[in-house]
Every structure is written in structure tokens, then in C-alpha cells.
């Protein structure tokens, strides 16, 4: 593909700009007044587009909620690949991953939490499919590297270990979404340290806090 072919046309850039504006407007309205109370007409008006233009991008308000929720979830999971590329030992990386995710979630605040709760209540299982696959791939890489380095027990099937770690990850996330005042950061720390002990392939100290992030991305 040539450079010219890879550059979006002016028309395509305009289309993407309008789509992003619709999604961002919908997110703000969903978060401030709730999904059910927000109408398509309000979204179109606030986004400064014609009513029919919105339906050129999204077939329904529910499809728009899928897109909004997917972007919120992507923000929650954005550190998976980053932490996976670090060279720390498996215990430190696992604790850091849980800590960064909890930090991201708390930084998003209660309104984003309520929005994701709405998405789950409406049973939209396909919203997070891409993120789920990315998380599983990242965790699998963690576990494979840990087994190869002798840092993770080798007496259990890798798929079983993967289900345990991913299941705990989602359990924390659902607790944060559905329980008011859920101590996410505290739970993430204690649970990740428990996982390290459960998966440990050799004796050694368990990290009590997430290691410092030399990239300067902490709290981003």
C-alpha cells in the first residue's frame, strides 16, 4: 500500500470526526442524565448534526451505547499491553497490572461506572469481545513467560491458570461496577498478591505494592 493510499481522504476524515463527536456527546449525556433519559434527538442536537445523520453512523441508541461502553472499557484495560512488555519478574508485573487497572477505573469516576453498569444490565455481551481477547492474549503471554522462567507452577494446565487469572480480573471489575463504595484498589492489591502465591513456582518474597513505573505513565 502506498503512502497516499494509507492516508484517509478528506471525506473519510470528516466522517470519522462526526462519528467521534456523536460518541463523545452520547457519553457525556449518558453519564450526566442516564441512558434511558437521553434521547437520540438530544444527542443529535448537542453534537450539532441532523437527526438523520446520526443514523448514518449508528442504527440505534443501543448500538451507540455499545460503542460508548466499548471505549470506556478500552480506557480501563489500556495498560495490559504496556505492562506485558516490561522486563520485571512475573510477580511484579502481575501486581502492577492489577494496580494500574484499579487506578484507571477509579480515575474514571462514578459516572463511567454507572454507564458500564447500564451496559451490563442491558446484556450486551459482544461489547467487550475485542478487549476480552486482548486481555486473554496478554495474560497468556504473562503466564507462558512465567512458566518458561520457572516463576509459575508447572503442574497445572496453562488454560486452567489463564481462566483463574482472567476470572479474578473480571470479578474485581464487576465488584467495582455493581457495588457502591467497593474498595477496588485495596482489593486489587490483596487479590493480585494472593494470585502470585497461588501461581508461584519458586519461593521468594511477594511484592507488597506495584513497582514504580519508570515510563512515567503511572496515574495517566
Going along the chain from its start, the domains and CATH numbers come out as 3-58 (1.10.10.60), 69-199 (1.10.357.10)
Q: How far is CA 149 from CA 49, 86, 90, 192, 200, in A?
A: 55, 15, 9, 19, 11
Is the confidence at residue 101, as pLDDT, over 80? yes
Give the residue, 55 or 126, on which the prediction is more confident.
55
Q: pTM of this prediction?
A: 0.70
Residue given cell 512465567 in the structure block: 146
Burial of 214 (C-beta count, 10 Å sphere; 0-12/13-18/19+)? exposed
Distance CA 84, CA 98 (A): 12
pLDDT of residue 16: 93
Give me the half-sphere count of Cα atoms (radius 13 Å) on the Cβ side of residue 141: 14
Distance CA 27, CA 157 (A): 41
Distance CA 96, CA 188 (A): 10
Phi, psi of 151 (to 5 degrees): -90, -15
* Residue among 125, 117, 118, 98 at smallest CA distance from 179: 117
Please list, in sequence order, all residues whose beta carbon lies within 8 angstroms of the beta carbon of residue 147, skipping any fewer than 6 positions away. 154, 158, 201
pLDDT digits (tens, 9 = 90+) for 160-189: 999 999 899 889 988 998 888 899 999 999
Give the residue, 178 or 82, on which the prediction is more confident.
178
* Residue 171 cell numbers, joined: 470479578
Amino acid at each position: 500500500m502506498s503512502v497516499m493510499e494509507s492516508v484517509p481522504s478528506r471525506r473519510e476524515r470528516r466522517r470519522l470526526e462526526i462519528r467521534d463527536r456523536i460518541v463523545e456527546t452520547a457519553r457525556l449525556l449518558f453519564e450526566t442524565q442516564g441512558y434511558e433519559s437521553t434521547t437520540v434527538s438530544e444527542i443529535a442536537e448537542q453534537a450539532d448534526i441532523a437527526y438523520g445523520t446520526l443514523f448514518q453512523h449508528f442504527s440505534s441508541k443501543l448500538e451507540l451505547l455499545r460503542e460508548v461502553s466499548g471505549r470506556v472499557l478500552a480506557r480501563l484495560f489500556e495498560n495490559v499491553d504496556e505492562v506485558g512488555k516490561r522486563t520485571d519478574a512475573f510477580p511484579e508485573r502481575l501486581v502492577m497490572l492489577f494496580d494500574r487497572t484499579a487506578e484507571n477505573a477509579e480515575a474514571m469516576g462514578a459516572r463511567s461506572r454507572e454507564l458500564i453498569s447500564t451496559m451490563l444490565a442491558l446484556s450486551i455481551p459482544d461489547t467487550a469481545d475485542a478487549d476480552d481477547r486482548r486481555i486473554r492474549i496478554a495474560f497468556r503471554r504473562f503466564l507462558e513467560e512465567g512458566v518458561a522462567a520457572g516463576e509459575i507452577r508447572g503442574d497445572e494446565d496453562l488454560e486452567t491458570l489463564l481462566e483463574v487469572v482472567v476470572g479474578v480480573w473480571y470479578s474485581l471489575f464487576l465488584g467495582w461496577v455493581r457495588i457502591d463504595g467497593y474498595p477496588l484498589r485495596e482489593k486489587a492489591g490483596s487479590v493480585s498478591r494472593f494470585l502470585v502465591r497461588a501461581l508461584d513456582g519458586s519461593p521468594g518474597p511477594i511484592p507488597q505494592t506495584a513497582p514504580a513505573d519508570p515510563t512515567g505513565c503511572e496515574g495517566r
